[in-house]
Amino acid sequence: MTVIQTLGIDHVDLTVTDLARSVAFYAEIFPALGFRRIPEEPGHVWASAHLSIAIRPAEEAEQSVAFNRFRAGLHHLAFRAFTRADVDCFHEYLIAQSVEILDPPREYPEYGKGYYALFFSDPDRIKLELVHHPWGFWRHVLASGEDRRPRHVTVSHE
């Protein structure tokens, strides 16, 4: 078979327990990350030049089940920032919006040299990240398909 080169992720759909609460949250957060609401799309969709994200209600039977990123499915969603200053600025914005900060901006050398990130959560406790990392390292990873960073796995059930 011929290998098909993908261009990236086209869209992500997030399932939420309280649609109104989550739409209000993302309506504030997404514009600060360069996303705009796409009213002609069915449902609740925001898009940037690189990705679209939709918010969909969980099935009724699942609405009382808390999100757990350690179950099969989505662990977290990371957005890439151009600069470390963008990460810091967005952190201040999240504080002003009273968004739950899981980990404030700092370097995470375990993820690669210069990896600088902020972690926060949405109303369903879906973990979100804004990260800046040196493009040189990731250009190599994206081009070669190999990430040779040493990894250690820590299992936590937070």
pTM metric for this prediction: 0.79
- Give me the residue spans of the domains in the chain: 8-59, 74-149
Is 140's pLDDT higher than 70? no
- H helices of 38-147, where? 84-96, 135-144
Residue 34: CB atoms within 10 A of its CB come to 14
Supply the angle between the helices 19-32 and 84-96 in degrees, to the nearest 10.
140
Inform me whether the pLDDT recorded for 152 exceeds 80.
no
Superfamily of domain 74-149: 2,3-Dihydroxybiphenyl 1,2-Dioxygenase, domain 1 (3.10.180.10)
Q: Reduced to 3 DSSP states, what percent helix, strand and coil does the chain have, rounded to the nearest 5?
A: 25, 25, 45
Q: Could you tell me the pLDDT band of residue 48, with boundaries at 50, 70 and 90? A: very high
**CATH class of domain segment(s) 8-59:** alpha beta
Contact 87, 117 (CB under 8 A): yes
What is the token pair recorded at 59?
């099935």
| Alpha-carbon torsion angle 95, 109, 80, 70, nearest 10 | -80
Which residues 6+ apart lie within 8 Å of 156 measured at CB?
70
The reply to whether domains 8-59 and 74-149 share a CATH topology is: yes
